[in-house]
A and B are shown apart, each in its own frame.
Chain A
Amino acid sequence: MSRRSIAPIVLLLLAGRLLMACQSPVITTPIAENPLAAATDTPTTVPEPTSATESAPPAAEPTEQTAQADAGTAPNPLLADPDNPGFTLDGSPTLGDPDAPIVILDFSDFQ
């Protein structure tokens, strides 16, 4: 069962969590599924090509179907890019040990 097929469930869970977040303290508890990972595994939900498709194995010459299947097994775009130090596989600036077990994504705005 690919992660892709449970993405709708994850989004539902997430929506519930967001509602709760409005009334409760800032910290949320860990969840078994990571919504962001699910999000990056569903390239069809975003308007632009996602990192998941960009970082798909070059050997693949996929039909539509296999392209979607491959997205679930493509390298995690949050991994450090060994060929481009200081950046993730999907091109974002990253700081720290490439092998660190935890990543913190910071969605921020400069103004």
Chain B
Amino acid sequence: MLETEPQLKDTYVADGQVRLIFKHYPLPGHSRSSNAAEAAECAARQGKFWEMKDLLFEDVNEWSSSADLAGAFQGYAESLGLDGAAFRQCYDSGDAASRWQQDVALGQSAQVTGTPNFFVIRLSDSTGTRVPGFIDFAQFQQVIDQVLNAPPGQ
């Protein structure tokens, strides 16, 4: 969602219509994705998940080939002003693994097979739709408006 997220934040999120939720879905062929997911969750514990997520997406070529993965992640954490030692303690403990494992289990039960997969859901009645892949902002607008204005479900 790297391209459309800023626009969504400036519009639907800013005006209180939409709340974003991030779910980790590290694919088996991506050997370091789960490590990155844990790094993002350790940043979340210090209140900087979304900033860390953006850094990890932008810098994927850098860290994914790094000889010192934990050190690279710690560097990102510190560049965001986080406590590097606390971050590293979280990351090295592996405690954050349960976060992405829980998300993968949820995704599998919802038939997620690839990334990205989006679900746009109206909370009042769980009316929603799946977006199985990248779409641009105009398409997101269309989907959000459809879900907002769908007849009441259930």
Contact = CB atoms under 8 A, between A and B. Distances in A.
Given A26-B133, A35-B110, A110-B26, A96 B128 contact: no
B19 A97 contact: yes
| Secondary structure dominating the interface of B | mixed
A71 B21 CA distance: 21
Contacts of A15: 111
B20 A35 contact: no
A41 B104 CA distance: 16
Interface string B59-73: 010001000000000
B64 A105 contact: no
A56 interface: no
Interface string A24-48: 0011111111111101101001111
Contacts of A35: 110-111, 119, 128, 130
A78 B121 contact: yes
Contacts of A96: 13, 16, 18-20
Contacts of B139: 26-27
Contacts of B120: 102-104
A95 B50 contact: yes
A47 B126 contact: no
A93 interface: yes
A102 to B, nearest CB: 5
A21 interface: yes
Contacts of B102: 48, 50-51, 90-91
Given A27-B135, A33-B154, A45-B109, A107 B23 contact: yes
Interface in A70-93: 76, 78-80, 86-88, 90-93
Interface in B44-90: 44, 47, 49-50, 53, 56-57, 60, 64
Interface string A2-27: 01000000010011011001000011
Contacts of B103: 92, 107
Nearest to B61: A111
5 contacts: A26-B133, A28-B131, A96-B13, A102-B120, A108-B1
Given A30-B129, A102-B147, 6 more contacts: A40-B106, A86-B49, A87-B44, A96-B20, A107-B116, A110-B56
